Amino acid sequence: MLPLVVVQEVRQLLDEKVLSHRKIANILGVSRGTVGAIASGRRGIYGSVPSSEEPTLCCFEMPPERCPGCGSRVYMPCVLCSARAYQQRRKQWQNIPSPRRVA
Ligand SMILES: [Zn+2]
């Protein structure tokens, strides 16, 4: 989506009625179709705002939790416990004799 400031700039230049659609498109780096759509009112004055103003929620911004498996304060899911569970499953698979070897 186009940045809101660019859309507002297109609208302003159109209102000044000095530059052609093509000129405005070249200056602001948007397509002539976009300029035409804004001029005719087919496209509203909306756009993306800089990401710094948007609320961001990353998993590492949440407080760590007490892991029920190992008791450490970790970011869930606990990597240590999932690694241990994986190793345990591998050991169990290795302990199961393969039917072909037994026979
Ligand atoms: Zn854990």
Q: What is the pLDDT at residue 101?
A: 61
Which of 32-41, 49-58, 64-73 comes out lowest in average pLDDT? 49-58
% of the chain surpassing 90 pLDDT: 34
Which residue did the predictor score with more confidence, 13 or 59?
Answer: 13
Q: What is the pLDDT at residue 47?
A: 87
Domain residue limits, the chain: 4-51, 62-98
Q: How far is the CA of 7 from the centre of ligand 1 (A)?
A: 50
Q: How far is the CA of 67 from the centre of ligand 1 (A)?
A: 5
- Single pTM value for the model: 0.48
Q: How far is the CA of 64 from the centre of ligand 1 (A)?
A: 11
| Distances 101 to 91, 93, 96, 97 between C-alpha atoms, Å | 18, 14, 11, 7
